[in-house]
Amino acid sequence: MLSCLATISGMATYVPKNILITGAAGFIASHVANRLIRNYPDYKIIVLDKLDYCSSLKNLNPSRSSPNFKFVKGDIGSADLVNYLLITESIDTIMHFAAQTHVDNSFGNSFEFTKNNIYGTHVLLEACKVTGQIRRFIHVSTDEVYGETEEDAVVGNHEASQLLPTNPYSATKAGAEMLVMAYGRSYGLPVITTRGNNVYGPNQFPEKLIPKFILLAMRGQPLPIHGDGSNVRSYLYCEDVAEAFEVILHKGEVGHVYNIGTKKERRVIDVAKDMCKLFNMDPYSSIKFVENRPFNDQRYFLDDEKLKSLGWSERTIWEEGLKKTIEWYTSNPNWWGDVSGALLPHPRMLMMPGGVDRLVDGPENSEFDSADVAINTSQIGVQIPSSKTIGMSSKKPALKFLIYGKTGWIGGLLGKLCDKQQIQYEYGRGRLEDRSQLLADIQTIKPTHVFNAAGVTGRPNVDWCESHKTETIRTNVSGTLNLADVCREHGLLMINFATGCIFEYDAKHPEGSGIGFKEEDTPNFIGSFYSKTKAMVEELLKEYENVCTLRVRMPISSDLNNPRNFITKIARYDKVVNIPNSMTILDELLPISIEMAKRNLRGIWNFTNPGVVSHNEILEMYKKYINPEFKWVNFTLEEQAKVIVAPRSNNELDASKLKKEFPELLSIKESLIKYVFEPNKKQ
């Protein structure tokens, strides 16, 4: 660290210890975080990011193995989470990057910008005031708060210039700045504000001009220009900006504002022409003029002398930075997955899964606001307690769940979780196959979300379904579709607990290969009537965009006395087969199902812990942790077939989609030990 600090010479240097960087899975902040982690191994860097559409953990790949790095997935709008992190991590410095930033989106969904940019900043400031331990609060704003610069101005906006924002995005950033200034003056918070020009470089989500142009050029598609392309912008390369924040962190003066800018300006049309030149495209046929924004500032021009006086200067020339950026995107064309929506001339409503529907949750229901939800990182697991455990109050969530399956195992556990998380809920009284009863439930209870944990699995097992086919169809197919349809009519998301027992190992997914069935794969197991009905209804539910289907397999919980628990079952059998399978640890995954409802996630999800575990491996753990005297006998599938009516499904499901959404999700063996065997360990 000393060698790096020595490069920042000439002034008294502030030395932080524990830095919280918000939004650091996003573009600019990830470059800042990676730089600080690399250059200052004595600094502990905690990254807080909710992983919105324009952020990715991959942006932090250079840092994820570093001992001074820690990632927490969560929302800055969660007061409990922010307070908890400041206290438990002894945070002394905050670099606040988290924000919605795309102007086009702000015209279509301005409330989301107010929620993230103003409310989120307010939560952070209040937490700083309450804890009283912050020595630096660096608030990251934008040059757009100054509004439009006169076309003939030769001197740029300086830090004391009037703020005249012209679009909803810049208005929310200006509003956030006012809060930062007020907390600095009223409560003495050590705040510093930055206002920056446009930034470009690797890792940027392609809703922004330069990465959008690059990806479109790579695809041979026209480059869209808003209006006539005469608008002027200034562009800084991301590593230069990261260095600017490094300088401001160590040498910035409390109470001051710093412009991060360049005097080198470019018209948007010239940026497009430069791109065409580098891709050997004809600019006349490759540039497409489209409708302008509702308001598009002609020019932003900054005076950057104040920051230069601290020793910073732009290092990367435009041509060099653009080539580096193009090289990165051509080497990583699928970094962001399917970005076709972002490449439209006017991308809108990319905000989060569910779009405007996210607003029904309100800021109180931000990610990990609830009690006892684990947030794990590549280094350390963080357990977020309820607000009571740290002496802070929070409003009750504006959620209300309607749960079907009260007498079932999963339905009963969901109710207990809602009690624990202080979420309002009621159990449905109607039968799934009776539409009028379902309508009465919804009209009476007025839920925000519906959970379907009802279904016929058979007692004591699925063999029952072989002789009760009509009853199985009535509930598993007709009833489930009925509920999905009623929910769609009322604009409600339905979380549907389904099964992964609709696959069996085959030539493309052989046992022990580690190749699991994905969400889009076609079911291939028809050995039991139960599985047939589940595969049938899953296919039909694809027509309902309001359904989130969770494929559960061989569910296990910490309650080893429950006869439905897979461990309890096999521990009581005379003989067991020994086949690796994907399984679901309910103690870990049911809270995630509630989080999925909050995020309005939809589609099909393999709802299992990553990896597989065999019967023998589970029973070995049972013997080690629960009963050292336990013994069991194996038998073959052929021998098993003689004592059961219907064949059983054995498979591995690919849980990578769920793991990407919830990086803290443990592997099946880790989860078994943490949630099942350790809590039940016999002394």
Catalytic amino acids?
Answer: 143-144, 169
Roughly how many angstroms between the first and final C-alpha of the chain, as a whole number?
Answer: 47
Q: How far apart are CA 634 and CA 627, in angstroms?
A: 18
- Is residue 86 within 8 A of residue 11, CB to CB? The reply is no
Strand order in the sheet with 449-452: 424-427, 400-404, 449-452, 493-499, 547-552, 603-606
Q: What is the dihedral of CA 119, 124, 127, 133, to 10 degrees?
A: -160
The answer to whether the beta carbons of residues 73 and 22 sit under 8 Å apart is: no
**Stretch (H or E) spanning 130:** helix 120-131
Which runs of consecutive H residues, i.e. helices, occur in 388-479? 409-420, 435-445, 463-466, 469-473
Strand duo 381-384 + 373-376: pairing: antiparallel
Instruction: Catalogue the E-assigned strands of 52-186.
Output: 69-73, 93-96, 136-142
CA 97 from centre of chain: 16
Query: Judging by beta carbons within 10 Å of its beta carbon (0-12, 13-18, 19+), is residue 622 exposed, middle or buried?
Result: buried
Q: Say if CB 101 and CB 140 are below 8 A apart.
A: no
Q: With both helix axes pointing from N to C terminus, report the angle between 435-445 and 480-489 in degrees, rounded to the nearest 10.
A: 40
The contacts of residue 382 (CB under 8 Å, 6+ apart) are: 72, 85, 88, 374, 375, 376
Burial class (CB in 10 A: 0-12, 13-18, 19+), 12: exposed
**Residue 359 CA neighbour count, 13 Å, CB half:** 11
